[in-house]
Amino acid sequence: MADAAGTVGARLSPQIDSLIRAAQSGDQDAFEQLVRTYDQSVLRLAMNLLRSPEDARDVYQEAFLRVYRNLHSFRFDCSFHTWLYRIVTNICLDQLRKRKVRKEESSTVETSEGPVDRMEAFEEEAAHADPERSLWNHQLRTRIEDALRDLTPRERMVFELRHYQGLRLRNIGEILGTTEEAAKNCLFRATQKMRSVLGDFT
């Protein structure tokens, strides 16, 4: 479940630093390499949060163009991963807040074959193996989706960064401009809300 982007970034720190310096001095190849080091986890974060390839694509484009425009102001006073994720999470949080206002978030995924519900697709796949189990999964997933929609954008973000991206709470606090303690509280509230929807599922 954990994503390795942060860890990879830390392990490759000297190489990343030299890529950043080269990109800062106008080396396009270095910039592209830098993007390729992190872009998969950025796109995955956006996909998980927004559940739409089109919206995820917008986040990707906007985030890396901001990086391109502002790379010259990166002063190595935090890791590049943290700096990049500050940009990405800000864009995603804006999108989530807009959706909260519009209340139109959906787990439906737009594909070239039309809208597909990821959860339904999974359920259909599982149904061949065990129909009873599949029904149980479907109900559990529906409840979890509802619970995720009820999280505040910030709770949702902390949860995504911890659960799916595997970042430490201290790092999450740094990315979101808050303390480790506040990130802990967010994670606790998010999991409490989601566990409360489980009810008799365990």
Footprint of another protein on residues 36-65 (CB under 8 A)?
36, 39-40, 43-44, 47-48, 51-58, 60-62, 64-65
Q: Between the CA of residue 169 and those of 113, 182, 200, what are the distances in Å?
A: 38, 9, 30
| Smallest gap from residue 167 Cβ to another protein (A) | 10
In the block, residue with structure tokens 């999470």: 89
Spatial separation of the C-alpha atoms in residues 70 and 122, rounded to whole Å: 41
Smallest separation (angstroms) from another protein to the CB of 131: 17
What phi and psi values does residue 83 have, to the nearest 5 degrees? -60, -45
SS3 of residue 129 by DSSP:
coil
Stretch that binds another protein, among 10-18, 74-82, 127-135, 164-172 (CB under 8 A): 164-172
Rule CB under 8 A: say whether 22 interacts with another protein.
Answer: no
Q: With the CA atoms of 195, 173, 71 and 165 taken in that order, what torsion angle do they form, in degrees rounded to the nearest 10?
A: -30
What's the sign of the alpha-carbon dihedral 190, 139, 57, 162?
Answer: positive
Q: How far, in Å, CA of 5 to CA of 8, rounded? A: 5
Smallest gap from Cβ 76 to another protein, in A, equals 19
Q: Applying CB under 8 A, does 191 fall inside the site for another protein?
A: yes
| Least distance CB 14 / another protein (angstroms) | 21
157 binds another protein (CB under 8 A): no
Which residues bind to another protein, rule: CB under 8 A? 1, 26, 28-29, 31-32, 35-36, 39-40, 43-44, 47-48, 51-58, 60-62, 64-65, 68-69, 72, 91, 109, 118-119, 122, 137, 140-141, 144, 162-164, 168-169, 184, 187-188, 191-192, 194-195, 198, 201-202
